[in-house]
């Protein structure tokens, strides 16, 4: 009996992992979620159906994230998205039990000092949404098309480094996915291996 229970438990875990691993597969529906932003407002992904949406997983303590903000690369993408009527959601999924967890007030101040321009900054303190999307690193990016399907998932670009010279010179996968998606053509590079700091579950 104990062995059967143990096997059932293993099967359940395996099933959850398989679902999580496929949750961000390009071509599939983006898992819906509701999170609270740093201002205390409830934000639901499906509320933005009809628009392109970029999900950016962040952690202010991560050197890779800091490099994209220090160089102005992330802010430039956010500004361009806003101009093109693309919804940009910045998500901090660092678990509240981790020392790198940031309160809404702390995230608000960090976003202000970075002159960042996301539509909303969301707190995923239980890391639940990160698990839905099988997020491994910060930064990690997902692009969702107006019908609610994932059209890109993975790294922000093709330069996995913390050197300031790299973001401006890199091939930006998010920018390319948005351009191709808005043109109505299939995204040439719909999935890449994310790089950065491990997400703090």
Check residue 9 and give its pLDDT: 37
Chain segment 29-48, per-residue pLDDT in tens: 999 999 999 999 999 999 99
Whole-angstrom Cα distance, residue 75 to residue 65?
A: 12
- Identify whether the C-beta of residue 179 lies closer than 8 Å to the C-beta of residue 190: no
Check residue 132 and give its pLDDT: 96
- Residue 50 burial (CB count, 10 A): 10
Classify residue 44 as exposed, middle or buried by CB count within 10 Å of its CB (0-12, 13-18, 19+).
exposed
What are the Cα distances from residue 34, in Å, to 3, 42, 140, 174? 38, 7, 19, 23
Whole-angstrom Cα distance, residue 115 to residue 28?
A: 33
**Token pair recorded at residue 156:** 């922000």
Domains of the chain: residue spans and CATH:
2-198 (3.40.30.10)
What predicted TM-score, i.e. pTM, was given to this entire model?
0.88
Q: How much of the chain, in percent, has pLDDT values that exceed 70?
A: 88
- Which is it for strands 197-198 and 137-138: parallel, antiparallel or unpaired? antiparallel
In degrees, rounded to 5, the angle at the alpha carbon of residue 139 between the alpha carbons of residues 169 and 47 is 115
pLDDT by residue for the chain (201 residues), tens digit each?
343 333 333 333 333 333 334 446 889 999 999 999 999 999 999 999 999 999 999 999 999 999 999 999 999 999 999 999 999 999 999 999 999 999 999 999 999 999 999 999 999 999 999 999 999 999 999 999 999 999 999 999 999 999 999 999 999 999 999 999 999 999 999 999 999 999 999
Helix extents (H) in 48-201: 63-70, 73-83, 104-113, 128-132, 166-169, 173-183
Backbone angles phi, psi at 142, to 5 degrees: -135, 135
Check residue 25 and give its pLDDT: 81
Q: Which of 43, 42, 18, 45 is nearest to 30 (CA)?
A: 45
Check residue 57 and give its pLDDT: 98
Check residue 3 and give its pLDDT: 39
Whole-angstrom Cα distance, residue 161 to residue 122?
A: 26
Check residue 145 and give its pLDDT: 98
**Token pair recorded at residue 188:** 């040439």
Check residue 125 and give its pLDDT: 98
């Amino acid at each position: 009996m104990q062995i059967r229970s143990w096997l059932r438990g293993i099967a359940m875990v395996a099933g959850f992992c398989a679902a999580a691993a496929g949750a961000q597969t390009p071509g599939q529906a983006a898992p819906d979620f509701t999170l609270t932003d740093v201002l205390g407002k409830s934000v639901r992904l499906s509320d933005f159906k009809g628009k392109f949406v970029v999900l950016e997983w962040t952690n202010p303590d991560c050197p890779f994230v800091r490099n994209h903000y220090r160089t102005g690369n992330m802010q430039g993408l956010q500004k361009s998205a806003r101009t093109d009527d693309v919804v940009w959601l910045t998500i901090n999924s660092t678990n509240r039990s981790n020392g790198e967890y940031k309160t809404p007030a702390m995230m608000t101040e960090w976003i202000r000092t970075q002159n960042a321009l996301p539509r909303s900054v969301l707190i995923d303190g239980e890391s639940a949404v990160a698990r839905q999307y099988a997020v491994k690193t910060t930064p990690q990016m997902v692009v969702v098309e107006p019908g609610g399907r994932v059209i890109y998932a993975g790294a922000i670009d093709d330069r996995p480094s913390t050197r300031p010279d790299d973001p401006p010179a890199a091939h930006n996968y998010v920018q390319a996915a948005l351009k191709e998606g808005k043109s109505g053509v299939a995204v040439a590079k719909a999935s890449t291996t994310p790089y950065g700091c491990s997400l703090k579950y």
